[in-house]
Every structure is written in structure tokens, then in C-alpha cells.
Amino acid sequence: MFHGPGPGGGFRRLGGIEEAKTHDTRRTLRRLSAYLRPFWGQLALVMALITTTALLQLASPYLIGRAVDQFIIVGDRPGLARTVLLLLAVYLVDWVTMGRSFYLMSAMGQRILLRMRTQIFERIQSLSLSFFDQHEAGDLMSRLVNDVQVIAQVFNVGIVQLLGNVLLLAGIVIAMLGLNARLALASFTVLPAMFVIAFVFSQRARTAFRRTRETIGQVSAELEEKIAAVREVQAFGRQEENQARFAELSAADRDANVQAVSVTAAFSPSLNVLSSIAIAIVAGYGGYLVLRGQVTVGLIVSFLAYVRNFFQPIQSLAQLWATLQAALAGAERVFDLIDTQPDLVDAPDAVEMPPIVGRVVFDHVSFAYQSEEPVLEDVSLVAEPGQTVALVGVTGAGKTTLVNLLGRFYEVKEGSITIDGYDVRKVTQASLRRQMGVVLQDTFLFSGSVADNIRYGRLEATDEEVIAAAKLAGADDFISRLPEGYQTKLGEQGRNLSQGQRQLIAIARAILADPRILILDEATSSVDTRTERLIQAALEKLLRGRTSFVVAHRLSTIRNADQVLVINDGRIVERGTHEELLAAGGIYHNLYMSQFRRETCNLEPETTAAAGTPAPARHMDRSVPAPGNG
């Protein structure tokens, strides 16, 4: 909603290469496994199917060896035919059980993906503005989309592959030892080398895949920012510079992925070499045993099939390990975000804010962002119910920060803010903000219909109430001319409307919400003079009976304010009515003369004369900074 000019405090940097947190792989695995708890029954069925699949895959080499010894060598065709049919049945049941297990796990994985993304989105929605002052939207989106997706791959197929390959590997070892222990031990001589290679691979893969998750987050952040700012990019001719920057980040992501792939690519050929060596050992030593009459040819055939199958699950586990490393890196980033605690939370004893009358008191309020330099210092003011308070000052003076504190989007460092005697820190944020309305300079419209955007602050409003609010804001005329009227779909952020039209819809939204406290932050700065005249009457009706804070925009609203507060360097340096401050000849007088004098002459010269203001000169002094956002 509001955005302060500086960074917020209290959050550890997320998503950067510089992240200092030490990740605990075991803890991450435990947290991932916790997502399986609601599915234990389904997981048990998957385990049964996987076990059946492993047993069937173990049976086929044995049946082939038996066919060689008992049927092929002796020429028993009927026996061979029965064995072939049995093998076909084994393969068919294997296909069914494997397919069913993958289906069940994929469905389970999608439910887990939904739960995880919901948790992330809920956490993002609960974080205060100071968090978003420091973190890029693109990186947060990458966590929600890319990182969760790679985690889902592990749940979808990874668990089936892991359990199936482990069972198959254990079964092959038992089968080989059962057929011939000496031949089995001879083929196992390659295992020490395999364990060393696997250890080295695991260490390098963990670092490489963590890097890939970080770089894809940076690419996503850069892409999101530049798409959102495409008009500014084109207006300032920054396409080439942005392309170079994006190419640099994409190259870093490419290098990280190439490094990760190279680690994986080096592992598989190493296993293939070890597999070939093991097969050579079985062929040589097994042939020697056959020649001595100690084993049959069928046993050697079975053994060769088992050895070949022995390294297939190891290779599959190696690929799964790479996927798991990527998932762990993504999970670390996801859990970092889920674990981030907002620095603004409801107090344990927070109460619901009752219907607001509208008396607002700032009592010696001071505030600073992360830096030690205060943005607001010892600010005190009282706004009585129904009063309009105008905030005036140069850019960066602290005006927007002041209204941010009123809505408790940032926490007061010293002093207190009360509404009707309730400290804003002692009431729930939801009950406080429900009774506040906001119209900002940078209007945000959602990608729904015009009616949906007006109804955003009061979802239960009828179509008649929506239209009445639009008429009061002076927006009904242009809305009625849209292709589908109030049901016209808006593009991203309402960019198929002019800035002034978007502002009118935002004002209609505030009117419909009917808040007791209203904040106008440069609300008409983007509206032309003609349109402003149309909505001034509506604004006067909107402000009537409400406590309103108006961050200085055009003259007419400021002149009618009950109080005008001049803020300079975070302090209220002048206060009074428009006429009183003009007569005082201080900062407000200078701001008024430099920024508003010509507008006053063009619109209402008689009012200026009545206020005792000298006739304007055409060579106005522009050396005094103009009012702006604070």
C-alpha cells in the first residue's frame, strides 16, 4: 500500500549469494518429510506397489537363467514357451504396479505443492512493508514458482525412484550372494571406488545446485523488474544497457547450471566404467568356474543380468541425488522465506478496534528505518474527528512516512499514535485498516473488471452502490463509454486506461469503502485541471465527517484544510490554517509562492486577494523546492 523512502529494519537478506545462514541438510529433509504425514495411508500403498515391482524385476534374470539351464540346453520347447509366457506376465504386472505407484505419488506431490505454495503466499501476505523495501518481487516469485516446482519433482517421482531403486539394489545383492557368494564378492570389488566417486559427487553437487537456485532467482527478479518498467526503459532508451545486464545475469545462471550438469555428467560415465569392469570380472571369473564345472551357464547368464541391473539403480540414484540437491537448495530458500517473521505483528493482548470516531493523536513520535538517521523526530499533532489535516513539505521531508505510521505499516520507534484513545500497537491490524481508506499517487488497479476494482475495499457492495460511488468520483462518464462499461476487463495494472482515469477509479474505490479515516497521498497529482474540478466536489463530500490526512497535492484541498502542517527534516516546523501560514511568511509561504501562485491566479484570483496575498509576478522565484512526496 504505502511505500516509505527508505529500507525497513529487522530482516536478514534473502535470495542473495551473500546469504550467511548455515543450512542444515538433515533439518531440511525432516521438514520436507513432514509434508508426507497426512498421506501415510497412501504412502503405505505406494510402498507395497514398489516392493511388488522390485520383486518382479528380481524375478526376470532368475527366470532367464533357469530357461537356459533347464529348457534351452536340453531343447525343451514347451518348457521354454511356459517360461516366456511367465516372463511376459511378470513384465505386464511390473508395468501396472510401477505405473500405479507413479500416479499415486504424482497426485500426492501436487497436493504437497499446493500446500507449500499456499504457505509461502500466506507468509508473503503477512510480511510488513519494510520486508518488501529490501526484497525483489522477482526473487520471491522464483521461490514460489521455480523452487517449489523442483521440490515437487522429488515428491512426484523421486520418492518412487528412491524406494524402488533401494529395494531393487538390496534384492540384487541378496540374489547374487544366494546364487554364488564367491562370484558375487568378486563383482563387488568395484564398490569401494564407487563409494569414493559418490562421496565426491555429493559434495560438489550440493554446492553447484544451491548456486543454480540462487542465480535463477536473480534472473527472475531482473526480468520481473524490467517488464514492469518497460515504459520507463523505452522512454529513457535503456534497452541496450538492460539487455547487457540481463545477459550478464543469464550468463551467470548458465555457468551455474553448466557446472551442476558437469558434476552430474562426470558421475554417470564413471559408473559405466565400473559397471563394465564388474561385467568383465563376472564374465572372466564366471567362465573359469563354468570350465571347471562349478557353475552352470544359466547361472552366469543370470549373474550378468544382475550385475547389469545392479548399476542401473545406482545410476538412477545418482540422477535422483542431483535432483534432490536442487530440491534441497530450493527448499532452503523456501523455508528461509516461510520462517521469516514479520516485524509487525499483533500484540498478544491486541483487541479489535471498535468503530472509529476519528480523533488521531501523535504523541512525540520518532521513527527511523535501518539507518540511525531519524525520518521523523518528536512529531506531535492532534486531529479532531472530521478534521482535514494537510501535510506539506519538500520531497523526503517525512510526509508519507507519517501516514504510513498511522496505518501501522511501520512501527513507531518512540512515542505513540492513538485513534480514539486506542494505541495503534494495541489493536489488531486488520480491524485498524478496515476503517481506513487510501488513495495514492501511484494508483494500482488489479486485472479484473472496473467494477471489481471499485468493489475491492468492500466486496459485498451491490452494482448500484458501485455505480453511485463512481458517479460521486466523477468516473461514471468515462466508464460508461468503455466497451463493456463496468464489466470491462482491465489490463495489467489498468494500463489500458489513462493515469487520470485510474486515479478516478481509485477515488471511487475509497468512496465505496466508506472509511472513517481517509488518506490522500498526492491523490490528484495525475489528474488534469479540468478533471480535478470535476472531482473536487466529490472529494469535499468524501472528506466531510471523516478525519483526513492529505499529503500536499493541489491548492484547493490544502486551502480548505482545518490544519496545515509543514514538515521539514522530519519535524513539524509550522502549523496553522492556510491563511495563517501565508500571513506568517515562513516556509509554507515560500512553498506556496513558488509552486501554487500561478495556479491560484489562473483558478481563483479573488480568493488570493482576499487572503491578502500580493499580486503574482510572472518572474516567480523557482529557487525554493516544490512540495513533493515525503
* Tally of helices (H runs) and strands (E runs) in the chain: 24, 10
Percent residues over pLDDT 90 in the chain: 12
CATH 1.20.1560.10 maps onto the chain at 32-339
Span of 112-116, 231-235, 444-448 with lowest mean pLDDT: 231-235
In this structure, are residues 399 and 481 in contact, taking their beta carbons and an 8 Å threshold? no
Share of the chain above pLDDT 70, in %: 81
pLDDT of residue 523: 61
Question: Is 294 in contact with 57 (CB distance < 8 Å)?
Answer: no
Mean pLDDT along residues 55-63: 85
Across the chain, what does the average pLDDT equal? Answer: 78
Name the CATH topology of 445-514: Rossmann fold (3.40.50)
DSSP annotation of 341 reads P
Instruction: Count Cβ atoms within 10 A of the Cβ of residue 330 and give its class: 0-12 exposed, 13-18 middle, 19 or more buried.
Output: buried
User: Looking at residue 222, what is its pLDDT?
Assistant: 75
The predicted model gives 371-384 an average pLDDT of 87
Tens of pLDDT, residue by residue over 505-529, are 888 888 888 888 988 877 665 556 6
Residue 58 has pLDDT above 70, yes or no: yes
Each residue's pLDDT tens digit, 562-599: 999 999 888 999 999 989 998 998 888 888 887 655 55
pLDDT at 121 over 50: yes
Taking the alpha carbons of 54, 58, 59, 61 in that order, is the dihedral positive or negative?
Answer: positive
Map 80-91 to HEC letters: HHHHHHHHHHHH
Q: Is the pLDDT of residue 9 over 50?
A: no
Cα distance between residue 256 and residue 265, in whole Å: 14
Average pLDDT in the 339-352 region?
86
Q: How confident is the model at residue 628 (pLDDT cuts 50, 70, 90)?
A: very low
pLDDT score at 322: 73
Residue 374 is placed in which grid cell? 531519524
**Position with higher pLDDT, 21 vs 96:** 96
- Residue intervals in the chain for CATH 3.40.50.300: 445-514
Task: Name residue 388's amino acid.
Answer: T
When mean pLDDT is compared over 62-66, 138-142, 479-483, the highest value belongs to 479-483
Return the bridge partners of 571, or none. Answer: 568
pLDDT digits (tens, 9 = 90+) for 495-505: 778 777 888 88
Q: Provide mean pLDDT across the span 199-225.
A: 73
CA-nearest of 249, 180, 255, 187 to 219 is 249
- 32-339 — its CATH code? 1.20.1560.10
pTM of the model: 0.65
pLDDT at position 135, please? Answer: 75
Q: From its phi and psi, is residue 21 left (phi > 0), alpha (psi between -120 and 50) or beta?
A: beta
Give me the pLDDT at residue 557, please: 63
Radius of gyration of the chain (CA): 36
pLDDT given at position 7: 36
Please, which pLDDT band fits residue 381 given cuts at 50, 70 and 90?
very high
Summarised one tens digit per residue, pLDDT across range 77-97 is 888 888 889 889 988 998 999
Q: What is the pLDDT of residues 597-623, one digit of tens each?
A: 555 455 444 333 333 333 333 333 333
Q: How sure is the predictor about 18, in pLDDT bands with cuts at 50, 70 and 90? A: very low
